[in-house]
Structure 1
Amino acid sequence: MSFMHEFREFAVKGNVMDLAVGVIIGGAFGKIVDSVVSDLIMPLVGLVFGKLDFSNLFIALSEVPPGTARTLEAYKTAGVPVFAYGNFLTILLNFLILAFIIFVMIKQINRLKREAPPAAPAAPSEDIVLLREIRDSLRR
């Protein structure tokens, strides 16, 4: 069996194709959820709590040249080492909101799956009914 034939057989197996579809859909779903967080949720959170952008929170780790604006960008441009914890806090908050949204969505999907009534068992065939009657009469 040639290498190309083996590779083609591997690539078209169901598991590989399912994984590829899952990755593509997962990437698209990630973009949708990211948009929900950044375009819908965060503006509402900002409206309630004020603007939650921590990206300009930092601590200068050395002396700052005089006349440098007190922004992270200006400090980095001036070559001042900074402990920039604000961007991490913003990303962490976005992650927590994203994880919560996914949790709620998965919980709802699972609840909908459970709420579907189980299918009623099919009525036994005439052969089964007849065999049961014979069994019951033999017991008596």
Structure 2
Amino acid sequence: MSILKEFREFAVKGNMIDLAVGVIIGGAFGKIVDSLVKDIIMPIITLITGGGVDFTQKFIVLGKNPNNLQSLAEMQKAGVNVLTYGNFLTILINFIILAWVVFVMVKLINKMRRKQEAEAAPAPVATPEDIQLLREIRDELKKKA
């Protein structure tokens, strides 16, 4: 089998197409969730906390600061050794909020899916009359034996 033919067979398999569609939908879904967090949830949290949940300017100077620089950008530009724990905290908080939103959305989707599956479940099939009669005869024979 030629390499081109093998590649074509690999590329058009159902699993490969499903994976490609999943990646595209996942990217679009990621943008929706990101917008939900940035544009809706974070402003509400900012309102509740009375300020932003932005610690990006929190840092600890680990080395010498010969020019007595004050801002993080100036120190990083000058090459001062700085531990920028605030940026990590901001990203961590955003991740936790994002993960919570995704969790709640998946939970709601699963709940709706289970409800649809329950509604779509076929009703139990009634036992045919001849089978039911044979069972009754069997039970009566067991009683006499």
Shorter-chain TM-score category? 0.7 to 0.9
Summarize the Cα distance change of 1:138–1:102 in structure 2 as closer, same or farther, 3 Å threshold. same
Q: Distance in 2 between matches of 1:134 and 1:62?
A: 91
Summarize the Cα distance change of 1:7–1:120 in structure 2 as closer, same or farther, 3 Å threshold. closer
Q: Distance in 1 between matches of 2:81 and 2:38?
A: 29
Q: Distance in 1 between matches of 2:14 and 2:33?
A: 28
Spell out, residue by residue over 1:75-126, the C-alpha distance to the aligned partner (whole angstroms, 9 max, x if none): 11222110011111110000000000011111111112223334342655xx
Partner residue in 1 for 2:102: 102
1:135 matches 2:134: yes
Partner residue in 1 for 2:143: none
Partner residue in 2 for 1:51: 52
Summarize the Cα distance change of 1:130–1:81 in structure 2 as closer, same or farther, 3 Å threshold. same
Partner residue in 2 for 1:36: 36
SS of corresponding position for 1:54: coil
How high is the TM-score relative to the length of structure 2?
A: 0.83
Aligned partner letter, 1:121: A
User: Displacement of 1:67 after TM fit?
Assistant: 5.2
Q: Distance in 1 between matches of 2:135 and 2:78?
A: 95
User: Displacement of 1:136 after TM fit?
Assistant: 4.6
How high is the TM-score relative to the length of structure 1?
A: 0.85
Summarize the Cα distance change of 1:87–1:133 in structure 2 as closer, same or farther, 3 Å threshold. closer
Aligned partner letter, 1:108: L
User: Displacement of 1:54 after TM fit?
Assistant: 0.5
Q: Which segments of 5 or more consecutive residues in structure 1 lack a partner in the other structure?
A: none
SS of corresponding position for 1:92: helix
Percentage identity across paired residues of the two chains: 51
Q: Distance in 1 between matches of 2:122 and 2:7?
A: 45
User: Displacement of 1:66 after TM fit?
Assistant: 3.1
Spell out, residue by residue over 1:23-61, the C-alpha distance to the aligned partner (whole angstroms, 9 max, x if none): 111111111111111121111111111111100000111
Q: Distance in 1 between matches of 2:98 and 2:87?
A: 16
User: Displacement of 1:17 after TM fit?
Assistant: 0.8
User: Displacement of 1:129 after TM fit?
Assistant: 2.6
Q: Compute the RMSD of aligned alpha carbons.
A: 2.0
